[in-house]
Structure 1
């Protein structure tokens, strides 16, 4: 089943809402008109009852009482649709106009309790298909009584008017609902024009046009949060596609070099007969390339685990000072070879995975040694600040331009991509450090000046 468009839905809702409002309004209007007619009939009937009551009050003796029917006839001349009946105390009809056909309960009720039948309660009934409205009261003549007087008014013209009134209202409501639906469709379509413009813009966005953005001005306030969120999503996608493209290119580049080396060495080894020592040297050289590729593949798998939330660090107590001392011992020979000294200050203990944190520190320290000029010192400082532990690895060396700092933790990213640094790794070390720190709920920052470059780790510390 095809779903309705938003324009059609809003138009129908407009029509339904308008119809409901008009129905409620017509209901109260109908009630008001009916109450008006009822009040008019009440006034008319009360006037006739007052006329009859005055005539009976003036009948002070039997002689004047005998002339009363004629006086009633004369008084009621010209009142079409009005019926009057008067009964005596025994229930016999004393006077009645033509067409006076009252329900028995109306007269009998007043005859049974004449002392209380004085308020003229309004009654309505249908007799022979004609609607009537009337009332009955008990009165006393000057020379006797009591008498029961009932007056009724033919209200068929009121009923016909109300039927016509209801029909006209029904037609008006139906036409108003249709008109509201039509106008609602036009207004809604015009009001949703900015949304269609946004849709057209979005439809034109592809992997090749991720730089396109939705307009951020001239839109209704309701669409501004959507536009802002969508533009932010496009920016993230654009950045992700760019990084993915660079990542693929870097993988191909990093794998091409060792594979090319392996092919060249193998071709040279096969080009002529060689002795056992030469073949052994070729195999050792190939082994270095294999180790390099294995290390890169292992690092990539590690980062893939981090991307999928599979790095779950333990919660043992890790003394960062002891781990740093151990790494200093490990890197001591390499540092001496490069003429770099190592220094540690402070202490800190954090909860986490010892091997993961040791790997993060190892990557930072090896990176610092690699970029420190001969005769300089790599400094590692540890400190506790409340519930945080701060680790700083600082090395003197050339300043890293500010535009490169935000991307230092990207995979395969190098500040100088033209340099082919054999033995320096594939550019995944800092990305691994960030993934480890993120897994521990920490933060990594880098600051570079002309004097030194400083990597700072902030980790949750042990509490209690």
Structure 2
């Protein structure tokens, strides 16, 4: 477990510097290898050239006089070659000629049979080679020529290259780490802005947004997603605030009525009949409170996907017929005509679907004037069944249509009439239909309002209560 975890900026800078240092190291090793190989080729060529020169001089030794004059010729030739050391001896080991022999002292016979032999003397670096040649005397005489070439200047040059190279790599790695840290810090600045924005968020400050113009393309999707999340949070908090205010408003009226009536009845002695009237009135308010609380609990379950999973076949025409019979007396009282056509079988929970359709019928009856009509049409299409509730009455303003299914919302925004309910019916209808994998839509024009429910046909499409 890391006691001090590294920041993302430090990690990026470290990885970047290690990568650059590794590449420079590989480049340096390759460069050193190439330079060393180049100098080795040059040294071998020079060594071979000097051996050829000495071989040419020995080819001229074809008499004893020429053998005696050989050292003088070699001195004349080798004087201008200070980097050479030469030793020539016969088969018995007698030295015939030596030039700077002290640099050949570490070499023993046979040690430099390979052209790549190397040795050091007094801080100087040498490569050398020993070959056997023949003097073209009347009686050919074999001789051994040992040649050493001073390559100290090449060795020093390679050491300087190596020192400068490793120093440069170390400095480059440090500078790369520094610049990498600065670049990573600058590149991760949008993340810091997101963090700063998130730290400033609260229920009262949900208007913060990231500046997309200052966001790099690689983080644009993240910034858009973050701003989208803030938009949703702000909208949800706004709805929650309105919902809380609506709950308080809806609960205040019946609670206030209960308190007022109770205080009035307790202000002085009453007859038994008066007490019964007050209790009946209180019972109505309590029933209204109970319905409202039950509806809110139902919506809370729907929000958390806790509604029953619908899995039975439901005959819509039978449920609609039962509801029409239930509302028949109310429709006659309001002088509203109701009729239903069509049939379809869907997958769902019968009681919940009856409740959804009942909410639509109740809403239609409430807003249909005397002499109006309500038409219910059931039509199967492809994999879904459409249930349409159409009623005559006032046209709903277009700006109100998207909000009809919000909780506690009424198109006329009147909340004081007890007979109009708490404004949760349509919200419950939408939750039930969505729990069945369907959808709900509304339109209103020319004095006719239409609510359309779409539900999966039985056996055609699975449903879920978690949507």
Aligned to 2:392: 396
| C-alpha distance in 1 between matches for 2:35 and 2:215 | 48
Verify: 1:233 aligned to 2:229, yes or no. Answer: yes
Structure 2: gaps of 5 or more residues: 461-467
Q: Determine if contact 2:110/2:130 at 8 Å carries over to the other structure.
A: no
> Is 1:322 matched with 2:318?
yes
Q: Which runs of 5+ in 1 are unaligned?
A: 111-119
Normalised by the length of structure 1, the TM-score is: 0.86
Residue in 1 that maps onto 2:426: 430
What is the aligned partner in structure 1 of residue 412 from structure 2?
Answer: 416
Deviations 1:128-149, CA, capped at 9 Å, x for gaps = 8754323455556556477665
- The whole-number CA distance in structure 1 between the counterparts of 2:142 and 2:388 is 116
Asked if 1 retains the 8 angstrom alpha-carbon contact of 2:193 and 2:210, the reply is no
The aligned residue for residue 465 of structure 2 is none
Residues 343 and 32 of structure 1: CA distance in aligned 2, closer, same or farther (over 3 Å): same
Bigger CA drift: 28-37 or 426-435?
28-37
Q: 2: CA distance between counterparts of 1:391 and 1:145?
A: 124
Deviations 1:167-197 (A, max 9, x none): 2222222333333344445555555566655
Q: Answer yes or no: is 1:35 the counterpart of 2:34.
A: no
1:102 corresponds to 2:102: no
1:347 aligns with one of 332, 339, 343: 343
Indicate whether 1:51 and 2:45 are aligned: no
Match of 2:128 in 1: 134
Aligned partner of 2:331 in structure 1 is 335
Instruction: Give the C-alpha shift of residue 439 in structure 1.
Output: 1.3
Paired with 1:456 and 1:135, the residues of 2 have a C-alpha distance of: 104
- Superposed CA RMSD: 3.1
Please identify, of 70-79 and 228-237, the stretch whose mean Cα deviation from structure 2 is larger: 70-79
Query: By how many angstroms is 1:384 displaced?
Result: 1.6
Contact 1:387 1:463 in 2 (8 A): no
The alignment partner of 1:206 has SS state of: coil
| Residues 330 and 43 of structure 1, relative CA distance in 2, 3 Å threshold | same
1:391 and 1:43, CA in 2 relative to 1: closer, same or farther beyond 3 A?
Answer: same
Distance 1:414 1:91, change over 3 A: farther
Secondary structure of the residue aligned to 1:311 is: coil
Question: Following superposition of structure 1 onto structure 2, how do residues 46-85 of structure 1 map, counting pairs within 5 Å?
Answer: 46-59=48-61, 68=70, 71-85=73-87
Task: Give 1:208-247 correspondences, 5 Å limit.
Answer: 208-247=204-243
SS of the aligned residue for 1:423 comes to helix
CA distance in 2, matches of 1:156, 1:89: 32
Q: Number of residue pairs matched? A: 453
Shift in CA distance, 452/59, structure 1 to aligned 2, threshold 3 Å: farther
Query: Which is worse superposed, 311-320 or 179-188?
Result: 179-188
Work out whether residues 44 and 115 of structure 2, in 8 Å CA contact, stay in contact via their aligned partners in 1: no
In 2, Cα distance between equivalents of 1:75 and 1:190: 69
Instruction: Sort the Cα spacing of 1:124 and 1:401 in 2 relative to 1 into closer, same or farther, 3 A.
Output: farther
Label 1:288 to 1:38 Cα distance change in 2 as closer, same or farther (>3 A): same
1:170-189 matched pairs, under 5 angstroms: 170-187=166-183
Q: How far apart are the structure 2 equivalents of 1:425 and 1:179?
A: 73
SS at match of 1:381: strand
CA deviations over 1:313-339 (Å, ceiling 9, x no partner): 221111111111111112111222221
C-alpha deviations, 1:286-340, integer Å up to 9, x for none?
Answer: 2211111111111111111111121232211111111111111121112222212
Measured against aligned partners, the alpha-carbon deviations of 1:414-440 in whole angstroms (never above 9, x if no partner) come to 222234221332111111111111211
Q: What secondary structure, in the 3-state scheme, does the structure 1 residue paired with 2:400 have?
A: helix
Provide the rounded CA distance (Å) in 2 between the counterparts of 1:77 and 1:131.
Answer: 20
Structure 1 residues 184-193 or 203-212, which shifts more? 184-193
